[in-house]
Structure 1
Amino acid sequence: MVETTTFPGTGGTSGTDDAKSHFTKAVDEAIAGAKALGSEAQTRAEEYREKVQSKLHDKADGLTGDAKARTEEYKEKAYGLADDGKARASGALSSLSQLIQDNANVLDERVGGKYGDYARGAAQSVQNVATKLDEKSIDELGEEAAEFVRQSPALALGLAAAAGYLIGRVLK
């Protein structure tokens, strides 16, 4: 036979039941408190996340705006430089045409009229190229260059190599 000892004020087995009940209530309260804290933490985390995302979005918008402004600025500068280069090339071709035209008379005297006529024809062709270059916009010239490369890629590559070689020789 098992004897149970009862302590004064505990009430026997009902004291154990009371302790279990208190412990269960304490655990339930702790769980409820943890859930409430978790909920509050999620709410605050969401608020901070929204603030950070808003600041990042604002920063990205500002950087995008700056990039667009600089792109336009550099685009305008590039077009200006391209126009200057086009004008210089046209001027150089006109000068070359005039030089050939001036020397056509010398060719007439020294080699013969036939070669002078060839020189005059070449001078006229160079002048026509200069005039066409002067009349076209940078966009039109770019489109024509792209079309030429599409139609004759090998020739375009050869011309680019030759131009690169010549520029390299001039710069040495």
Structure 2
Amino acid sequence: MEPEVENANTSEAKSRFNAALDEAKAGAAALGDEAKLRASKARDDARARGETYATDAKTKAGELAVEGKHKASEALSGLSRVIDENAASIDEKLGPKYGEYARSASRSLQDNARKLDEKSLDELADDSREAIRKSPATAVGLAALVGFFFARLFR
């Protein structure tokens, strides 16, 4: 083959190779841009779903907290009634002094149940924070006791 023809073929091959290389680079850049766009959209979608889930979880937690507060109030009232109903029996068996202690405890439980029902969750949280600040050792002891009872309950 002649050198001129060989140089022309080489030049044409190099030209085609460079054109293909430029086209591949442009295609890779386009794919990269599309990937970035898709990733951004997926991130935005995930963030929106996460915010929706967070809002739903907060709403559900609030509902459960209100329900738990109501059940705790009912339990205190029920215990108060049981103690009050048995106060006469305590009078007979242990004496009027102990019967009065039982009635006093019953009134105290009933008052606490009423106060619990009347307070909002925010007020209860504020009261809890204040009690913890005043007596952190008692708070830690109560938390340990509650943890122990839950562990026993779910064992």
Return structure 1 stretches of 4+ with deviation > 4 angstroms.
Answer: 33-47
Match of 2:53 in 1: 70
Cα distance, 1:155 vs structure 2: 0.9
Cα distance, 1:170 vs structure 2: 4.3
Greater Cα offset, 162-171 or 151-160: 162-171
Gaps of 5+ in 2: 1-15
Match of 1:144 in 2: 127
Matches within 5 A, 1:83-162: 83-162=66-145
**1:126 aligned partner, one-letter code:** L
Q: Distance in 2 between matches of 1:38 and 1:144?
A: 71
Greater Cα offset, 46-55 or 72-81: 46-55
Q: Would the alpha carbon gap of residues 38 and 169 (structure 1) be closer, same or farther in structure 2, given more than 3 Å must change?
A: closer
Greater Cα offset, 160-169 or 37-46: 37-46
Q: Distance in 1 between matches of 2:153 and 2:32?
A: 60
The alignment covers a number of residue pairs equal to 151
Q: Would the alpha carbon gap of residues 166 and 45 (structure 1) be closer, same or farther in structure 2, given more than 3 Å must change?
A: closer
Cα distance, 1:101 vs structure 2: 1.1
Larger radius of gyration: 1
Match of 1:50 among 23, 30, 33: 33
Cα distance, 1:88 vs structure 2: 1.2
3-state DSSP of counterpart to 2:144: helix
Q: Distance in 1 between matches of 2:65 and 2:45?
A: 30
Name the Cα RMSD after superposition: 3.0
TM-score (norm 1): 0.69
Give deviations 1:64-118, integer Å, cap 9, x for gaps.
1111111111222222222221111111100001111112112222222222111
Higher percent of residues as helix: 2
Q: Distance in 1 between matches of 2:119 and 2:145?
A: 24
Q: Distance in 2 between matches of 1:88 and 1:59?
A: 42
- Determine what percentage of the aligned residue pairs are the same residue: 40
Q: Distance in 2 between matches of 1:169 and 1:65?
A: 40
Q: Would the alpha carbon gap of residues 36 and 144 (structure 1) be closer, same or farther in structure 2, given more than 3 Å must change?
A: farther
TM-score (norm 2): 0.75
